[in-house]
Amino acid sequence: MKDTPEQICEVIITAGTAEWLATFTRELVEHRLAACGQNIASIRSIYRWQGAIEDEGEARVALHTRLSLVPAIVALADKEHPYEVPCVIALPVVAGNPRYIEWVLAETASD
């Protein structure tokens, strides 16, 4: 039976401040939970929270990582994120530059 290659994904996280999110992104990269994080310092989020429509400025990061590391990222966000319910979602990477995918795998922790 042929080994199935490790899947990578993009993990999106939002936060109220760009500085907090940049610090958190650096922590994830340092701990090899993500190969990189592409931070966007200013986005506008419109959402329903506790019965009210909110319209707030936020920051956003797109992390490139292994699918198998998503539970550890979620756990760390639950522990450290200032939000009661932080947005942490993983999107599949269905194809890409094979050398980039190899780099993501090389820069992240294996199981």
pLDDT level of residue 110 (50, 70, 90 thresholds): confident
**Token pair belonging to 17:** 């401040």
Architecture of domain 8-107: 2-Layer Sandwich (3.30)
Among 40, 28, 6, CA closest to 73: 28
pLDDT exceeds cutoff 70 at 1: no
pLDDT, mean of residues 79-96: 96
pLDDT exceeds cutoff 70 at 95: yes
Residue with tokens 């319209």: 55
pLDDT in tens, 2-61: 445 689 999 999 999 999 999 999 999 999 999 999 999 999 999 999 999 999 999 999
Task: Give the model's pLDDT for residue 2.
Answer: 41
Q: What is the largest CA-CA distance in the chain?
A: 53
